[in-house]
Amino acid sequence: MVAKIRMTHSTAMVLQALSSGRGYGFDIMDTTGLPGGTVYPALRRLESAGLVESEWEEGNEAHREGRPARKYYRLTGDGETALADAGARFRVLGLLVADASGDSRS
């Protein structure tokens, strides 16, 4: 069952970033320009609501790259529906994330 979540502009930006292939916290922060104090609580709420799923990467890969393991997030089907609803509410949503990522899509 999917819990109800208050869809703010910041939360919608996090969903859009995930939809655009940004899968972990720092990447979402870089793409959206949102601080970690906004992104990580939003990811926790979205996961609790069933709109995103997460999985820790293999520790060996992170170790080889000399960094901590990353927790990767992805949209669920309900998350995709919530993003579509948010896109209708926040019309500039796709443009904001595309601009922040250097994506040239129109």
Q: Which helix (H) or strand (E) holds 60?
A: helix 59-64
Supply φ then ψ for residue 66, to 5 degrees. 70, 40
Name which CATH class applies to 9-101. Answer: mainly alpha
pLDDT tens for the chain, residues 1 to 106: 456 788 898 999 999 999 998 899 999 999 999 999 999 999 999 999 999 999 999 889 899 999 999 999 999 999 999 998 888 777 766 565 555 445 444 3
Q: Hey, where are the domains in the chain?
A: 9-101
pLDDT number for residue 1: 47
Q: Cα 24–30–34 angle (5° rounding)?
A: 95
| Distances in whole angstroms, Cα of residue 105 to Cα of each of 53, 65, 84, 99 | 27, 31, 17, 9
pLDDT number for residue 17: 93
The candidate with the shortest Cα–Cα distance to 82, out of 2, 26, 1, 21, is: 2
pLDDT number for residue 101: 47
Q: Which helix (H) or strand (E) holds 48?
A: helix 36-48
